[in-house]
Amino acid sequence: MTGLASWAITTFARLLTAVQPEWAGIDPTARRRRIYFANHVSHGDFVLIWSVLPPRARRRTRPVAGADYWRKGGLREFIGTDVFNSLLIERNREGAEDDPIAQMAAALDAGDSLIIFPEGTRNLTDAELLEFRSGIYRLALARPEVDLVPVWIENLNRVLPKGAVIPVPLMCKVIFGAPLRTSYGEGKDAFLSRARDALLALNPKQEG
Amino acid sequence: MQNVHSDLIAVIAGIGLVLAVASVVGFILQRRLSPDGGNATIENLNDRIRAWWVMAIVMSLALLGGRTGVIILFAICSFAALREFMTLTNASRADHRTLAAVFFIVLPAQYYLIWISWYGLYSIFIPVWVFLLLPIVSALSGETRNFLVRIAEIQWALMICVFCVSHVPALMNLRIPGFEGRMVLMIAWLVIVVQLSDVLQYVWGKLAGRHKIAPKLSPSKTVEGFVGGCLSATLIGMALSFMTPFNPWQAGLMGLVVTILGFLGGLVMSAIKRDRGVKDWGHTIAGHGGFIDRLDSVVFAAPIYFHLTRYFWNVG
């Protein structure tokens, strides 16, 4: 059932977007844990990343998502937890049972890769990319031996803009950049801006 | 009147033979010039030949499926082409409803009208009805920035990707005395002549190309390729005139018209790509690019081929 559902979802994503991966910095077939960090424009973001990963890597790659959205029950919860095996974290820290960083580190220790959205929320503004929250830095410090791979998702915001219910078919690209890690003694702000620049550099629509 | 099915099978077998020869030539060239996969031209040539096999098989199945097969195939082509075209336009968030209407209402409606053979509506549906009604949807969004550019681009995309492409299956609706039931062959003739012209232009250009025809638009197109490609494809079209209601010299004239239009259509579509800073429309057909890269010449040839045939051969 989950296999069928994941096939249906990725096939639908392909029909709609003809999504094409661009491996600009990593070898997709290498079997290793990674933290993919991407720009966040739509609920379909991790579906696209997931669709272009090789099937073997896909089964071991878990999107990190907000529990408030994905634990609402019904189809949404089935897709979020059963099909995509998401790592759900409490975005609202009050009453959070677990430290999200510890949750993510535990998943990495279990051999899984993660997909995270360091902006913390969907970017519904006209800005290319929001400022990063500090979570990615703390995760990088917690597991300094894991590669952080920037992933730019191109065009998906036009497929399903804010407030729209029906997606329209447009070609999308998912661009994987060169991996980065924290360097010794690097401060939070320096790392966050380095990671953000690495992601922005992948955007093909840059001016200038 | 011969059996349309046996003629169609013969045509398909002929295409298979040509592709088999191409595959063998491609294999020998690869062995000789690019044993380690290092020669980009040869590798691209072989990618193209492999994609041709897939396209020829899909097209053959559609033709064997008759009216239904052809309509479904070209509706899918329209969908893929429109998806590529819209990706490169300025359509913004405010046009979301318009785009949804274009993909999920206008496109199916156009092919439905062809299916029920309502010439009076499918020939004006997009140029008149949609032309007037669709900008209203965009206007109601209240976003005025780039308004004229946005609505013009959407209309252009629809004309190219849906209206023009749909004139290939629309050929099934023509009634030509003594040619009943053979319209799939006329479609096959158009596609074969136009696509062969593209291939032969490429071959003539590679072998004898000297003078660039439009270096700014398309650096690989040459006068020698254009003339050699169009003339040789026209000769093949004359030889295949049994697939059409035309006698050989009529087939020759028609061949010239569609190959020249196909060439010029390719130039127009290249100009759009240059403006938008892309090399190909898409990536879905290995070695060729996108659907529009393969369809551009058919797009420009099909409506003219349809109407010339309709003026002079159609009854009722």
A168 has a chain B CB within 8 A of its CB? yes
Q: Which residue of B has its CA nearest to A172?
A: B87
d(CA A185, CA A105): 20
B276 has a chain A CB within 8 A of its CB? no
CB contact under 8 A, B103 and A18: no
Give B180-185 contacts, CB < 8 A, sequence gap 24+. Answer: B180/B1, B181/B4, B182/B1, B182/B4, B182/B7, B182/B243, B182/B245, B184/B4, B184/B8, B184/B63, B184/B66, B184/B70, B185/B4, B185/B7, B185/B8, B185/B11, B185/B243, B185/B244
List alpha helices for chain B, DSSP H: 4-33, 40-64, 66-87, 96-101, 107-115, 119-122, 131-140, 147-158, 165-170, 183-208, 223-239, 248-276, 291-313
B99 has a chain A CB within 8 A of its CB? yes
B286 has a chain A CB within 8 A of its CB? no
Is A198 within 8 Å of A178 (Cβ atoms)? yes
Please compute the mean of the pLDDT values over residues A53-71 and round it to a whole number.
86
CB contact under 8 A, B83 and A166: no
pLDDT, tens digit, 9 for 90 and up, residues A138-148: 999 999 999 99
pLDDT, tens digit, 9 for 90 and up, residues A102-127: 999 999 999 999 999 999 888 888 88
Q: What is the pLDDT of residue B1?
A: 46
- Give the amino acid at B193: V
* Chain B: closest CA distance from residue A65 (Å): 25
Q: How does strand A147-154 pair with strand A173-176?
A: antiparallel
d(CA A123, CA A40): 6
- Give the amino acid at B105: I
Q: What is the pLDDT of residue A208?
A: 38
d(CA A162, CA A159): 10
* Chain B: closest CA distance from residue A134 (Å): 30
Q: Provide the chain B residues 59-98 that lie in CB contact (below 8 A) with chain A.
A: 79-80, 82-84, 86-87, 91, 93, 96
Task: Give the lowest-confidence range in A33-42, A53-62, B147-156, B170-179.
Answer: A53-62
pTM: 0.91
**pLDDT over 90 for what percent of chain B?**
77
- Name the one residue in this structure whose structure tokens are 């049994």: B242
d(CA B140, CA B267): 35
pLDDT, tens digit, 9 for 90 and up, residues B9-64: 999 999 999 999 999 999 999 988 888 877 888 888 899 999 999 999 999 999 99
According to DSSP, the residues that pair with A180 across neighbouring strands are A148
What is the number of residues in chain A?
Answer: 208
d(CA A98, CA B233): 71
Please compute the mean of the pLDDT values over residues A25-41 and round it to a whole number.
89
According to DSSP, the residues that pair with A22 across neighbouring strands are A175
B220 has a chain A CB within 8 A of its CB? no
d(CA A119, CA A83): 24
Rg from Cα positions in chain A: 16
Q: Which parts of chain B sit beneath pLDDT 70?
A: 1-2, 316
